[in-house]
Amino acid sequence: QVQLVESGGGLVQPGGSLSLSCAASGSIGSDYDMGWYRRQSPEKPRVLVAVITGGGITSYKESVRGRFTISRDNTNNTVYLQMNSLKPEDTAVYYCAAYRTFSETPSTRPEDYKYWGQGTQVTVSS
């Protein structure tokens, strides 16, 4: 079992930055794709923000590409999401997710991910 705990959410003004962290229990190492998803309302599905494979291959949602950066520390079992130039439409609950795989192609499908954190709220507003 893998448990994920997100942190770093909060209120930020448009154009500002936030850094999210996701700490995983146990030793994930490089055996998991780690993804950040977000949900803008309970009625909407979670959508991909960014994903990174154990080998460091990344994929991003088009609207965040160039503004967000996903990274991971396999030694410390932690994944990060650096968010810059934030916009009001980035407001959402952000979720960390893990998918055990050795594929070199990052998974962008939420149904592939077996483990999810509880989420952290990010609000971008003046």
Query: Could you read off the pLDDT of 87-112 as tens digits, one per residue?
Result: 999 999 999 999 988 888 998 888 89
Averaged pLDDT, 72-89: 95
Residue 17 is predicted with a pLDDT of 98
What pLDDT score does 31 carry?
Answer: 86
CA distance 92 to 76: 26
3 in Cβ contact with 24 (< 8 Å): yes
Identify which has the larger pLDDT, 35 or 110.
Answer: 35
The Cβ of residue 5 has, within 10 Å, a number of other Cβ atoms equal to 14
Segment 41-62 shows an average pLDDT of: 95
What percent of the chain has pLDDT above 70? 100
pLDDT recorded at residue 52:
96
- How far apart CA 54 and CA 31 sit, in angstroms, is 6
d(CA 99, CA 34): 7
Q: Is the pLDDT of residue 75 over 90?
A: no
Whether the predicted pLDDT of 26 surpasses 80? no
